[in-house]
């Protein structure tokens, strides 16, 4: 039994840091080009250099690494990459003085990275004043990178840490996730390629809808990573073409990227159309949109045409865990709010950058519930459920049930913790749902537009919660267990 090193962990951390260093050069160049303030430009350059140095240190530490990923390396990476990337990501905000408080800046970084979208950015006395363009670019780029990191983790490390929670069921169980480093590199390249293609498509759609190039790029970054955020006001534009484009991009952000890759790889586009999960996703999106539109129109909150636009847009926005609002919430009843609070819990398809419990898991949970009713009559029956015609192992079903319980416990515990601050219980619950599903705007449904009025510890707890949502809670538990074993046991 070889000695347990963390070589691959350091290697992966080093790579991530290098990518971020490279990415930081983009807003640096933009800041130079737009002649923005010296503090800002210097902040970008400094952050880039710092990350590069950090990356080299990590890579040097990883010079003796084994080829196959161990569980320890996977768990450590999955848990610690988020704080690290959040730290690097927040450096420009913090150093340039845009967000001088460390906790606020860190929260901003994590919020962008986990594609949540909650932001204290650009607020002056509660009003969103003009922000420097390069910082907005970096904010959107950070969101995009967050989505990219999540997809990277999804194709490499996640299947080995928490793959039993349904990951292996995607794409008709045709994808094999290899723990070997070289194979992982290939998967990472493939994942990045698909993500880039989808992003380019999004940029194109936004350009066609009439946005200026800068806005098209930033909006594409925000939307395709299912980050969202209040940086863009759709009601200002009042353009159905834009809403249609955004809707399409939001749906794109929820599509199973692995399935896309597989379909392209084996040249069978029919794979996408036959995927049950995608069909169910559309069904939920259309159904929720229809219900909301009917309710808006029926309550005379807005004109019928506006009701349809608003209903479908908001439904897709929250289901894809983006969190965009169409217009204001005047005249909304609590039913509309509750609908929009519940949709992110379903989330996008497995294999996308969206958050939530994922449509695949919800499908399996509903199927096992229906089959379980029959088991009341036949207690010794062997219940088997099928997905896309393929049987689902009982062990995986059990794990998914366990995952649901974990999710609920995380929701309960963190709602209680957040309720200790100066917010009502409903607000605490909506904020918890928002952070856990990386939606963010669910808190706005019940009155919390941003966290500026709350103490630092609330921001810290929310950061933890957002990371927890991204690493699917289970990895964090394994991490805690590993740490506690390490400190309470001796290795000999």
Give the binding site for other proteins (CB under 8 A): 71, 161, 295, 333-335, 337-339, 341-342, 365, 368-369, 372-377, 394, 397-399, 401-402, 404-406, 408-409, 412, 415-416, 419-420, 423-426, 428, 446, 474, 477-478, 481-482, 485
Give min distance, CB of 178 to other proteins, in A: 17
Give min distance, CB of 491 to other proteins, in A: 14
Give min distance, CB of 65 to other proteins, in A: 21
* Closer by beta carbon to other proteins, 102 or else 408: 408
C-alpha closest to that of 471 among 72, 16, 20, 114: 114
* Closer by beta carbon to other proteins, 15 or else 337: 337
* Closer by beta carbon to other proteins, 308 or else 368: 368
* Closer by beta carbon to other proteins, 97 or else 398: 398
CB distance 108 to 99 below 8 Å: yes
Supply the Cα-derived Rg of the chain in whole angstroms: 22
- Backbone φ and ψ for 322, nearest 5 degrees, come out as -80, -60
- Backbone φ and ψ for 229, nearest 5 degrees, come out as 120, 155
Tokens for 156, please give them.
Answer: 């490499």
Residues in the chain: 492
Tokens for 102, please give them.
Answer: 């460390």
C-alpha closest to that of 188 among 236, 237, 137, 151: 151
* Closer by beta carbon to other proteins, 99 or else 357: 357
C-alpha to C-alpha distances, 427 to 82, 228, 382, 434, nearest whole angstrom: 26, 20, 43, 10
Give min distance, CB of 428 to other proteins, in A: 6
* Closer by beta carbon to other proteins, 39 or else 338: 338
Give min distance, CB of 166 to other proteins, in A: 13
Give min distance, CB of 405 to other proteins, in A: 5
Token look-up 């159905």 returns: 240
Give min distance, CB of 351 to other proteins, in A: 21
* Closer by beta carbon to other proteins, 17 or else 415: 415
Angle between helix 133-155 and helix 213-224 axes, rounded to 10 deg: 30
Tokens for 76, please give them.
Answer: 């450590």
CB distance 66 to 2 below 8 Å: yes
Q: CA 246, 248, 253 angle in degrees (round to 5)?
A: 90
Sign of CA dihedral 291, 295, 297, 298: positive
Give min distance, CB of 439 to other proteins, in A: 16
* Closer by beta carbon to other proteins, 408 or else 457: 408
Q: Say how far apart CA 235 and CA 241 lie, in whole Å.
A: 13
């Amino acid at each position: 039994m070889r000695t347990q090193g963390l070589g691959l962990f350091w290697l992966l951390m080093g790579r991530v840091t290098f990518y971020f260093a490279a990415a930081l050069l983009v807003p640096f160049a933009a800041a130079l080009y737009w002649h923005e303030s010296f503090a800002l430009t210097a902040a970008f350059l400094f952050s880039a250099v710092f990350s590069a140095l950090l990356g080299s240190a990590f890579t040097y530490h990883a010079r003796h690494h084994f080829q196959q990923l161990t569980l320890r390396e996977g768990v450590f990476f999955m848990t610690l990459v988020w704080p690290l990337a959040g730290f690097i990501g927040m450096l420009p905000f913090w150093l340039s003085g845009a967000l001088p408080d460390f906790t606020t800046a860190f929260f901003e970084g994590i919020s962008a990275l986990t594609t949540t979208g909650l932001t204290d950015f650009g607020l002056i006395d509660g009003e969103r004043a003009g922000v420097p363009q390069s910082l907005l670019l970096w904010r959107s780029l950070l969101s995009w990178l967050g989505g990219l990191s999540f997809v990277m983790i999804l194709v490499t490390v996640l299947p080995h840490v928490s793959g039993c929670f349904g990951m292996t069921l995607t794409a008709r169980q045709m994808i094999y996730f290899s723990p070997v480093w070289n194979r992982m590199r290939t998967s990472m390249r493939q994942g990045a390629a698909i993500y880039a293609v989808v992003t380019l498509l999004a940029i194109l759609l936004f350009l066609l809808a009439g946005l200026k190039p800068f806005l098209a790029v930033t909006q594409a970054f925000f939307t395709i990573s299912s980050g969202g955020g209040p940086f863009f006001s759709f009601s200002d534009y009042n353009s159905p073409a834009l809403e249609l484009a955004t809707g399409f991009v939001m749906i794109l952000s929820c599509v199973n990227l692995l399935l896309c890759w597989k379909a392209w790889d084996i040249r069978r586009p029919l794979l996408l159309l036959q995927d049950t999960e995608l069909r169910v996703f559309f069904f939920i999106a259309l159904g929720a949109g229809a219900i909301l539109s009917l309710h808006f129109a029926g309550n005379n909150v807005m004109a019928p045409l506006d009701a349809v636009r608003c209903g479908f847009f908001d439904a897709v926005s929250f289901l894809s865990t983006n969190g965009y609002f169409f217009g204001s919430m005047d005249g909304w009843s609590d039913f509309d709010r509750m609908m929009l609070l519940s949709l992110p819990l379903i989330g996008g398809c497995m294999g996308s950058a969206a958050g939530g419990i994922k449509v695949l898991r919800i499908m399996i949970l509903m199927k096992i519930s229906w089959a379980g009713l029959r088991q009341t009559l036949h207690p010794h029956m062997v219940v088997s459920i099928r997905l896309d015609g393929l049987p689902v192992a009982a062990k995986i079903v059990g794990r998914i049930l366990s995952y649901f319980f974990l999710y609920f416990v995380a929701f309960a515990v963190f709602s209680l913790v957040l309720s200790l601050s100066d917010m009502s219980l409903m607000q605490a619950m909506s904020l918890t749902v928002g952070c856990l599903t990386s939606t963010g705007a669910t808190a706005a449904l019940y009155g919390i537009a941003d966290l500026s009025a709350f103490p630092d510890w609330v921001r810290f707890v929310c950061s933890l919660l957002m990371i927890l949502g991204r690493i699917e809670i289970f990895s964090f538990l394994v991490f805690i267990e590993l740490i506690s074993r390490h400190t309470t046991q001796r290795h000999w």
